[in-house]
Each structure stands twice: as structure tokens, then as C-alpha cells.
Chains A and B, each alone.
Chain A
Amino acid sequence: MRMKYVLSEVLVGLWRNVTMTIAMIITMAVSLFMLGGSGLLYQKVGDMKDLYYENVQVSIFLKTDAPEDQRTALQAKLDADPLVKDVEFVDKDQAYKRFQQMYADAPDLVNAVKPDQLPESFRITLNDPQQYKQIYDQYKTAEGIDTIVDQSKLLDKVFGVLTGIQNGALALAIVMAAAALLLVANTIQVAAYSKRREVAVMKLVGASNWFIQAPFVLEAVVAGLIGSILGLLALIGVKTLAAGSSMAALEGLITPISWSEIFLTFPLMAAVGGLVSAITAWVTLRFYLRV
């Protein structure tokens, strides 16, 4: 009977103040959507970093007129370097082939360039891509070197943007969460006020504290859980829309977010939504009902 009482009180409570309940659920949903989104993005950025930095190369371009012995000396030095995982030498012909491929749709340019004009280069894979600076310092003064180009510089920019988006989503999630929190506190206060007579009698006749608090706390938790379900639906919606639009073109660049990953964020969203609501409601009651 007590469970039935508590549950019916929860439903009555949510219904009594339905506009407030809806506002609470919507803010909760937006906040949790942002939170889930930034969580997914965080994972993706991590995955992509692993993938891209794994393949990142440092290119050491030689001067076009660098003599043979400088090249072999450099090759030997690179082979012996503990920072270097793999060295690939690209001679003029190979460089020309790459050049042809790269500018296949600009035949005039390809025709204008002769293999001789292209620099030879070493393509170096590092054990740890972060150690680019050391490589650069070590070889910048070596004989016959023209420039050293680090691809990770470019990746840093890309990931800077992604991290920025992720942080933005997280910040927005926190702001929305603050709004949701205040709405929960307010809803609980209104609910407690409208039931103040019942609460006074319950306290008087010795109803246990949890019994007095449970309907209010559960009311907030139910709203939080509905909010997290709506947040999940929003994530699903975004993925569905993204798959069918221009975002699909980026598929090769950005590792796609799978359905299972989206569904795995739900427990996180539900837990945060439920817990935050419960704690807020409980704290509000402590102050408002003094139970």
C-alpha cells in the first residue's frame, strides 16, 4: 500500500504543476543531450587522435642539389635514431609520381614540372609523434636539408577545433544543468507548499522522514529520467540527420559514431539526470520542510 501511495503521489505531483514539469524536463533534456554529445565527442577525438597520430609523418626535404654523401649520412643517422620508428626515402622519381597523382586534375602544372625540380625527402614515422620538436632541433642544422615539415602541426589545429566544440558543448551542458537544477528546486518548493498541510500532519503523527520525502524526490527523479530519454532521442535524431546530409561526406575524415556508442551514453545521461534531480530535491526539502 505504501508503494502505491508514494507512486500515486508522484503522478499527482507531476500533473499538478504540469507546465513547470514540462519546463523541468525540457531543460533537463537539453542539458543531458549536450552532456551526452560532448561525451561522445570526447571519445571520438580520443579515437581519432590515436588513429591519426599513429600515421603522422615528419618529412625532411633535402635541397635539390644535395650531394649523395650527405644523403647517406643522414639516412644512417636517422636509422640509428631511437626516436625514429621508420624511415622511408622518397627519391625524385617517386616524388614526381606523387606529384602527378596529387595534381592529376591540373595537367598543365604536371607537364610544367620535371622530376629533377622536385626535392628528395625522408618520410619519418616517429615512435612518439609528440617528440617532433626534438627531431626538428636535431636535424635542422644538418647539411643539405631544406625544410622539415611536421604533419602533426596540421592535426593539432584540427583537434584544437574539435576540442573547442567539445568544451563548448560541455560548458553549455553545465549552464543548462544549472538552470535545470534551479527548476527542480523551484518545482519541489511549489510541490511542498501545495502539500504543506499533509506534510505537517505527517510530521505530527510520526511518519518517517523518507516516507514524507519520497514522493517529492521521486517526482524529480522521474522528470530527470524522462529528460534523459528525450536527450537520447535528440542524439539519435542528430545522428540520423547527419547520416543523410553533407556530414556524410566527412565520414572518411571523422570516425563515425556508432549506434551502440550512442546507446551506451544513455546510462550516463540517465544516471546524471536522476542523481542530480534526486540530490537537488532532497537538499531543497531539507531546507524547506526541515525533515
Chain B
Amino acid sequence: MTKTYPKASRPSLDNVSVSIEKGEFVFFIGPSGSGKSTIIKLLLHEVTPNKGRVVVNGKDVTSMRSWKRPHFRRSIGCVFQDFRLLPNRTAYENVAFALEVIGKTKAVARRVVPEVLELVGLGGKEHRYPHELSGGEQQRVAVARAFVNRPLILLADEPTGNLDPDTSIEIMRLLDRINRTGTTVVMVTHDSNIVNQMRRRVIEIESGRIVRDQARGVYG
């Protein structure tokens, strides 16, 4: 498929075809502006391709109406470089917020949230505010928020971009553990260390084209 942004001289993604199986762990790598982030946006239905199709969880979302988007997004979890936590809410409240705004009751949140915070290794820090947590811990809250709804896919857009190497490794272990529960993980990154350590499928993009697609690959 092809995606060209308005006013762009060349397509952001040019005739790219990728298939990711359920339960896979995939890295998208490549220099800035290569089109990696466009992949995330296409998967989130934030943008639509000019040519070709996007199929997520067996559903063709290419021409999905925008009012269906909210429901579609509930099957996808998202983690970003800048965490995107609500500063005036505690770790618990941040995760519970994601549940409550999609219609889950407080009772459900009380049952599920401590569980997922425990899973990401934040047991005992539920009532800290983001500014009272380290960068790595904040990202754990973000991962908990993305995963609390048990999505089929977890998208991670440079999740270790703001973290030091040791903390990055911890976050990667966490994503790996989530992947082992059967969740597909798609991660966009610059971080060669991490890619080399994980030895998972690597898709390299340059100027909107796939230049490499390698199982158990390295950063190269």
C-alpha cells in the first residue's frame, strides 16, 4: 500500500506490503522520516492509505467510517516515547481512566487495575503521581494502561526513546512478557542495542520502502 501526505513531495510509504501474524513481535527500524511512524498511524486508523488496504485483526479498516474508530481502537494498545500520562492522576487513576472512559464500571477497575499494575512491576506504587515516578516507572504505567483492556495488538512508538539503557531493557522485558501472553507487539525504534538483544523479526524502512525483512534480525 502507499501513503502520501498532502503537500509531501514523495510518498511516506511507497508500495509497502507487510504481513504480521498474530502473536508476533516485530521491530520497524529506519532513520527519521523513513515512514516508520506512518505505519503506526495507519494501524491506528489515524490516517488512511492512498492506495492499497490495511487489514487489522482480520478486518479491513481501510475505508472504515470514523465513527467506528473508537470501538476499533479498544482492540489496540498504544505506548509512546512521551508516556502521555495524565499528570494530575495517580498511576492507579491513569489506568482506571482508560477503563472508565470506555464504559467499564469502577468495580471492574478495582479488580483489574491492581492486577495489571502488579504485572508491570508497580505493585505498591499505585497511588504515586507521575512526577513521583521515574521515567521507566512512568512508561510502565503507560504499558499497564495500554494492556489493561487486553488488546490483541500492542503498538509501541519508540517506547525507550526517553529512557536510559538499563531501564530500556526492563521495559523490553515487560513487552516481551506481554508478547508471550499472545499479544502481537509492533514496535518502532531507533535503539540498535535493543533490537540486537531481542533478536526478533526486523523490518527496515528507508525512504518509504522496505529494504529488509528478517526473522531474528539485528539492527544492521
Contacts and interface: CB of A to CB of B under 8 A. Distances in A.
Interface in A198-255: 198, 200-209, 211-212
Contacts of B106: 1
B101 interface: yes
Main SS at interface, chain A:
helix
Contacts of A212: 101
A200 B87 CA distance: 13
Given A5-B100, A201-B98, A206 B86 contact: no
A5 B102 CA distance: 12
Given A5-B100, A204-B78, A209 B70 contact: yes
Interface string B59-99: 00000000101111110001000001011000000000110
A1 B73 CA distance: 22
Given A197-B84, A197-B86, A205 B102 contact: yes
Given A201-B84, A201-B98, A206 B72 contact: yes
Contacts, number: 51
A211 B73 contact: no
B67 A209 contact: yes
A202 B98 CA distance: 7
A2 interface: yes
A175 B152 CA distance: 54
A205 B67 contact: no
Given A197-B86, A197-B87, A198-B86, A205 B105 contact: no
B72, B84, B102 pick with most chain A CB within 10 angstroms: B102
A164 B74 CA distance: 59
Given A201-B86, A201-B98, A206 B73 contact: yes
A2 B149 CA distance: 18
Contacts of B71: 206, 208
The 3 closest A-B pairs by CB, nearest first: A206-B73, A207-B101, A206-B74
8 contacts: A2-B103, A198-B97, A201-B84, A201-B86, A201-B97, A201-B145, A205-B78, A205-B145
